[in-house]
Amino acid sequence: MSHAESGERQVGNAPRHPSPSDGQTVSRAGARPAHPAFLATAMLLGLTVVWVRPGPAVLRGTDAACYARVAQRLASEPVAQWASPQLDGRRFDDHPPLGFWLEAAWMRAVGTGPAPAWRWAQVLATLLVLVVGLGGKRIGGPAAGGLAVAGLCILSGFLFESQNPMLELPLALGLAVGWVGAALHRESPRLGPALFVAGTAFAAWVKGPPALATFVALGWIAWRDRPPVGRTVAAAAAAVLVVAGGFGALELWRARIGAPAFLPAYLHTQLLPSALTGRSRAVNDPLYYLPVLGRWYLPALVLAPLALWPGFRRRATEGERRLVALGALLAGTVMLGFTVPVQKHPWYLHAGIAGFAWLLGGLGAALVGDRLVRWVRPELVLPVTAVAVAWVLSPLPKHADDDALYRVYAGERPVFTAGAPREVANCSRLGAWVADHSFALVWGARAVPCDAPAAFVFDGRRLRPVPRDALGP
């Protein structure tokens, strides 16, 4: 009787199959173990897709330029003043400050401006590749971990977010770490709770309430695996205490520098309006995220029903089924969680990137993993595939004439006369919010309406100086 077969007959609270945590593939009887280079070369595929992106840096996320400006301001200040980030001379309490602190620290190390902000997104995407791959390996085996990373590379959401320095990427990273910690809660009494607490705290200090998603994973693991109740309660309590302690320290820090408290402002200006009124964007459609899911995560949406196919259940190891379930649970929790507030944006769904990748990795390992490892030389094929995929996805820049945002970042820069107002009339299709922060970040200028007097006019294609006599007295 094989080791896997004997594992199926275990009873009680023990898993029905051996754990893949020892780094070996827990495979079906007669299956060939995963190639030792498979996971490493899959990660090479992911990192190539992240980093082989010809410039220039263009921050296309709606809030990316705004957040880069917040971080840039912090980078120019003493660290002792970082407790209260500011934007245009006003307190910026829309989100907890950890995401801005990390980006500001990066800018202190490598410089400020659009390019460092763009590279910061790539650093975060690199960490997410590592967590998805190593977490997938620990839960589902090397083949599942490698295919989860490969799955990342066909998800439009990841391809976009890996170049977008907003807060969804660090939120996704924190949730992924917390989710892995919950999954390892039973088999690794130290590592599992430590990762759970760290991931939960990181997510909470980046974007607040979405960090609660990790407790869904912990509850599911507690119901499914029946770990010691005391350990589960201790992990949950530790996460709450660490998060609360961090915010408490922040409030003490702000009080010490004479800044108003963060949490009341965050609650009344961001959380409650977003949940109840939608601030400037109210969406009451409970199915809002379904078409968004089809746009950004179509491969996972199409292949997810295979998890219900009896053939998958027969072919999959316990670890592969576990990885698929955890991935689906993470993606579903994020989608349902962001459906509750009135304010909705398409990019909120990116917080569940790791879940979509794990879903693909577990399904792929169960259904094609053995054949892939048996027939393909991954150490040769995947590096070549990485370069090819990155080249197809990121060719040398060829932008349409009406790509106004590209023209802002890559086009001519305005040269203002000394003492003249640094203003550019926005006559392009860029929305006021994006134009305001993009003009300020790239040009150091203030965007004004198209019909307002300004030294320059931007029409979406060209930046034209306005004759002095046209500006009036």
Per-residue confidence (pLDDT) for residue 4, from 0 to 100: 38
Please write the tens of the pLDDT for every residue from 277-329. 877 788 989 999 999 999 999 999 999 999 999 989 888 999 999 999 999 99
Amino acid at residue number 238: A
Q: How many CB atoms lie within 10 A of CB 162?
A: 25
Measuring CA to CA, which residue among 299, 36, 314 is closest to residue 150? 299
CA-to-CA separations, 42 to 34, 148, 364, in angstroms, rounded: 12, 9, 13
Averaged pLDDT for residues 129-151: 93
Averaged pLDDT for residues 331-341: 96
Cα distance between the two ends of the chain: 93
Q: For residues 473 and 468, what is the distance between their CA atoms, to the nearest angstrom?
A: 9
Q: How many CB atoms lie within 10 A of CB 99?
A: 27
Q: For residues 180 and 177, what is the distance between their CA atoms, to the nearest angstrom?
A: 5
Per-residue confidence (pLDDT) for residue 237, from 0 to 100: 98
Please write the tens of the pLDDT for every residue from 421-464. 999 999 999 999 999 999 999 999 999 999 999 999 999 999 99
With a cut of 70, say whether residue 376 has pLDDT above it. no
458 SS3 class:
strand
With a cut of 50, say whether residue 29 has pLDDT above it. no
With a cut of 90, say whether residue 239 has pLDDT above it. yes
464 SS3 class:
strand
**CB-based contacts of 228-231 (< 8 A; 24+ apart in sequence):** 231/185, 231/189, 231/193
Burial classification of residue 433, based on how many CB atoms lie within 10 Å of its CB (0-12 exposed, 13-18 middle, 19 or more buried) = middle
Averaged pLDDT for residues 150-173: 93
Kindly list the domain boundaries of the chain, sorted by start residue: 21-393, 404-470
Per-residue confidence (pLDDT) for residue 13, from 0 to 100: 37
Q: Strand pairing partners for 456?
A: 424, 465
With a cut of 60, say whether residue 390 has pLDDT above it. no
Q: What is the DSSP string of 130-152?
A: HHHHHHHHHHH-HHHHHHHHHHH
C-beta of residue 199 within 8 angstroms of C-beta of residue 174: yes
What's the mean per-residue pLDDT of the chain? 87
Per-residue confidence (pLDDT) for residue 8, from 0 to 100: 36
Averaged pLDDT for residues 358-384: 72
Q: How many CB atoms lie within 10 A of CB 317?
A: 26
Q: For residues 465 and 470, what is the distance between their CA atoms, to the nearest angstrom?
A: 10
Give the gyration radius of the chain's Cα atoms.
Answer: 24
Measuring CA to CA, which residue among 213, 181, 175, 212 is closest to residue 195? 181
Q: How many CB atoms lie within 10 A of CB 248?
A: 12
Per-residue confidence (pLDDT) for residue 367, from 0 to 100: 87
Per-residue confidence (pLDDT) for residue 208, from 0 to 100: 96
Please write the tens of the pLDDT for every residue from 101-136. 999 999 999 999 999 999 999 999 999 999 999 999
User: Which of 15-19, 157-161, 314-318, 358-362 shows the lowest per-residue confidence on average (mean pLDDT)?
Assistant: 15-19
Question: To 10 degrees, the CA torsion angle through 275, 210, 295, 169?
Answer: 130
Per-residue confidence (pLDDT) for residue 388, from 0 to 100: 59
Please write the tens of the pLDDT for every residue from 250-262. 999 999 999 999 9
Burial classification of residue 4, based on how many CB atoms lie within 10 Å of its CB (0-12 exposed, 13-18 middle, 19 or more buried) = middle
